[in-house]
Every structure is written in C-alpha cells, then in structure tokens.
Amino acid sequence: MESSLPSTQILDSGESAERKNEAKNYNEMMSTLPKAKGLRGNDYYLYQGFWYSSFFLEGLMSVQEHFNPQSTDIFVASSPKTGTTWLKALAFAVLTRSRLSGSTTSSLLIKMPHDCVPFLEFQVAQNPRIRDLAVPLLSTHVPYSCLPKSIISSSCKIIYICRDAKDTFVSLWCFFSAHQMSKNVEPLPLEEAFEMFCNGISILGPYWDHVLGYWRASLEFPEKILFLTYEEMKKDTAAHAKKLAEFMDCSFTLEEEEEGEVQKIISMCSFEKLSRLEVNKNGKLHLDTSIAIQNSLYFRKGEIGDWANHLTPEMGARIDDIMEQKLKGSGLKLPR
C-alpha cells in the first residue's frame, strides 16, 4: 500500500514569521535585478542568467539557501511545458509500483501528478514537510546551474526532459493565455510572446540555455543525469518506462514484463487516461497559495507538431534556426 503520511502539515508560527522575514529580504534583492514583462503581464527577473517570476524566484532563493536532499532523492527536471506532468506520472508509477501490488488505487488516480511529485521551488520551498519521505521523488524547473549546491554535490539522480522548442513555446503560450482568460484578463498577443521567446525571455528562459545546462551535465555525469526528450518518449514509451526503472534502480523483473506491468503503467499515465480523471478535469493546483490553477490546463493536446496550428512556417523556421545556432557544437540535436 502507498504511504498514508499526511501530505500537508502546517508551519508553526515561529517558522511562519521567519518565512515572512526571508520573503522581505528576497524581495529587496529582487528589486536590484534586471526586469522584463512576462507572459502573464507580470515582471520577470533575470537571476543567475535565467528569467523568473517573483514567486518562482522567492522559492528558488529559499531552497538555494536551505534545501538539503536525502541521498536517495531523484529529481524530475524540466523547462516548463516540455513533458513534466507526463514524466512525473511515469516516474511515480514506476517507482511506487511494488507498493501497489494487490491494490488498484494509485495516488495518480486521485491526485494530479504535480501533487504526487511536488516541485522543489514551489510546494517544498513553501513547506518542506509537504513531501512524503517514503517516495524519494521531487521535481524542479530550476536550471542546472542554479540548483542548490546541496543537490549538485549529492548523489541524487536527475531525470531531465526537453522538447522541440516550437511545441514548447506554443504549449507555454496556450497555457498562460488560457490561465489569463480564466481570470478574464486579456492574454499577451502570440506575436509579442514569440518575439520575447526568441530573445530568450520566457519563464526559465533562455530555453536553449536550460536544455544545454542539463545536456552538458548529463555528458559529464551520465550515471547521475538521464537526459530524455518528449518526442522520443512518445515514439517508444515502453523502452522509456524500462529505462526509467533501470535508472531509478528498480528495473522490471522478467515476471513483471510477462504480466504486462510496463503496459499497465503506460496506459495509466497516458494523456487519454490522465486527462479524463475527475481530479485532472475539475481539480485545482495550488503552487502558489494565492493562485489556483485548473489541473485541466496541464492536459491540452499532448501532441507532437501542434506548433504548426499556431505559428507560420517562417516563425517555425526562425525558432529552428535559433536552436540550431545555440546548440551548435554541443552534440545535441533535438528531434522536431
């Protein structure tokens, strides 16, 4: 059976006062950083080479200062909209499968993947006790070079996913536009957001630097960092589920394979299955205590190449050219 540890615990008043004080210091520090307009019309701040929203940056500064991983922790890392939700579901299902034998209830059926595998810089930064220590899985959108030193110097493993830049941009824009519209706020025009993305200004951008940071680290520490792409994972999900299991030191046994365990996990984590669950249709995610995001926004189409329905061929070619130029000499070629 899965752990019944409470998923949330309230901070005591001392901790809460300390957090408020820290937030004040972080806000003072933010006021000194270069700024740009973000996709939600909010400010983005340039910190250690990447663009962050204030809420994100506050969380990052806090974990850079305080977070200590367990040596067995495994992080699902990604730039936003590159397949995080899917990878979290797969990694969680693969890692917790032995606890589920005999049970038909996976947390994934009743909790959004982001609530099964909490974000370091959001949920964990706000309340370190939120995590279920029995499941050594956390996630992060933080670029490799900005990760807390305690993670870099640990034996923790990292599974990184990235995606074609055009689909990533379109997914980002659709997500923020839908979120804005749900609050009756006019979204940023696509052309404006596109221009920003091409100039490296997007949440956690420049996108290419995010990808390159993890790519280079995966070449240097292949036993610690597994580098995946959304497109390859779509092409052969079974091979990826097995690769994930092997990397997390919980390979599928022959018996499990013969019993169709891999296929069961793939089906449970599929876009079709997850997007139709009540929790993902009507539930809400609270990454920020003041903002609730509809879970359904994390399940839009789940297709490769949808960019062509939103961008002109010229816009597509521009992103491809930028990516080619930026990735040149790195040995990385992203699938399109």
Known catalytic residues are 141
Four-residue CA torsion sign, 156, 263, 251, 216:
negative
Closest to ligand PAP by CB, 22 vs 232, is 232
Closer Cβ to ligand PAP, 99 or 300, answer by number: 300
Measured from the CB atom, the residue of 47 and 271 that comes closer to ligand PAP is: 271
Strands of the 157-162 sheet, one edge to the other? 137-140, 74-78, 157-162, 225-229
Q: Which residues bind ligand PAP (CB under 6 A)?
A: 78, 80-86, 89, 167, 171, 174, 269-271, 274, 298-302, 306
Q: Report the amino acid identity of residue 189.
A: P
C-alpha pair distances (Å), 217 with each of 150, 204, 214, 227, 321: 16, 18, 5, 9, 24
H/E segment holding residue 27 = helix 13-30
Residue 92 beta carbon to ligand PAP: minimum distance, rounded to whole angstroms:
12
Distance in Å, CB of 241 to ligand PAP, minimum: 12
How many degrees, rounded to 5, is the angle at CA 29 between CA 117 and CA 21? 70
Minimum distance of ligand PAP from residue 86's CB (angstroms) = 4
Q: How far is the CB of 6 from ligand PAP (least distance, A)?
A: 24
User: 145 vs 275, which CB is nearer to ligand PAP?
Assistant: 275
Dig out the tokens for 333 from the structure.
């070629």
- Residue 102 vs residues 99, 108, 112, 215: alpha-carbon distances, Å: 8, 16, 22, 39
